[in-house]
């Protein structure tokens, strides 16, 4: 069925119709079936190959909506995990920055315009925070069986601090981009006023 709609079949069919036209004009003579079949074959051979359809990737707005859903899932997971108070405070700070970045009335447009920032935020939410917390939970279990060494709470607090720093740096970068845009717009409007 796909071949019937293919470029090769359509081009071959058009060439075959030209062969029938030549037959009715009296040019093909007794060999008209060979002429029609030959023209169809030639048309099918010279037709450009089928191009595969371009992949349909989600647009940045859809990606941001999916990231908001992932963040809600992450929050549900974190609500079920018992963390020590210092790490819980770090997690709360990180949560505030992530929530502000994903706020629908916040910098969503800046995120959709910057795929690298969107990717960095996705990595923090979908990979880094769950991995850090899950690793802590696993190691905490082992330290109860075999105490000694550096407490896993210290590592968890440091790691959450590093993720908070990364998220805050991302927010600062997006703010700087917005400020540059505002300055550029102001400069453009001033130049336009001067040229009038």
Q: What does the angle CA 76 – CA 81 – CA 87 come to, to the nearest 5 degrees? A: 110
Provide the 3-class DSSP secondary structure of residue 85: helix
Nearest to 126 by CA among 77, 80, 70: 70
Whole-angstrom Cα distance, residue 96 to residue 2?
53
What count of other Cβ atoms lies within 10 Å of the Cβ of residue 99? 13
Nearest to 83 by CA among 146, 135, 150: 135
Q: Would you state the pLDDT for residue 132?
A: 95
Q: Would you state the pLDDT for residue 194?
A: 87
Contact between 39 and 18 (Cβ < 8 Å): yes
Q: Would you state the pLDDT for residue 162?
A: 96
Q: Would you state the pLDDT for residue 23?
A: 84
* E-strand stretches of 19-102: none
Q: Would you state the pLDDT for residue 79?
A: 93
Q: Would you state the pLDDT for residue 107?
A: 67
- In this structure, what DSSP letter does residue 6 have? S
Cβ burial, residue 67 (10 Å; 0-12/13-18/19+)? buried
Q: Would you state the pLDDT for residue 108?
A: 62
Residues of the chain with pLDDT under 50: none
Continuous segment of H or E residues that includes residue 89: helix 85-102
- Cα 64 from chain centroid (whole Å): 9
Whole-angstrom Cα distance, residue 161 to residue 152?
14
Extract the tokens encoding 181.
Answer: 């845009």
Segments in the chain forming alpha helices (H): 7-24, 32-46, 60-79, 85-102, 108-113, 115-123, 129-145, 152-195
């Amino acid at each position: 069925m796909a071949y019937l709609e293919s470029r090769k079949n359509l081009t071959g069919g058009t060439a075959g119709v030209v062969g029938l036209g030549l037959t009715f004009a009296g040019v093909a003579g007794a060999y008209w079936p060979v002429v029609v079949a030959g023209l169809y074959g030639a048309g099918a051979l010279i037709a450009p190959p089928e191009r595969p359809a371009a992949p349909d990737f989600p647009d940045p707005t859809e990606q941001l909506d999916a990231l908001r859903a992932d963040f809600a899932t992450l929050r549900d997971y974190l609500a079920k995990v018992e963390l020590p108070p210092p790490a819980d405070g770090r997690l709360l700070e990180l949560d505030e920055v992530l929530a502000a970045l994903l706020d629908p009335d916040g910098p969503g447009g800046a995120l959709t315009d910057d795929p690298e920032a969107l990717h960095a935020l996705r990595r923090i939410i979908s990979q880094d925070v769950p991995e850090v917390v899950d690793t802590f939970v696993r190691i905490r279990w082992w330290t109860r069986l075999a105490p000694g060494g550096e407490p896993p709470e210290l590592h968890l607090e440091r790691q959450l601090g590093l993720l908070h720093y990364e998220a805050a740096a991302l927010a600062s970068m997006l703010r700087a981009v917005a400020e540059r845009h505002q300055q550029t717009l102001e400069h453009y409007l001033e130049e336009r006023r001067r040229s009038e």
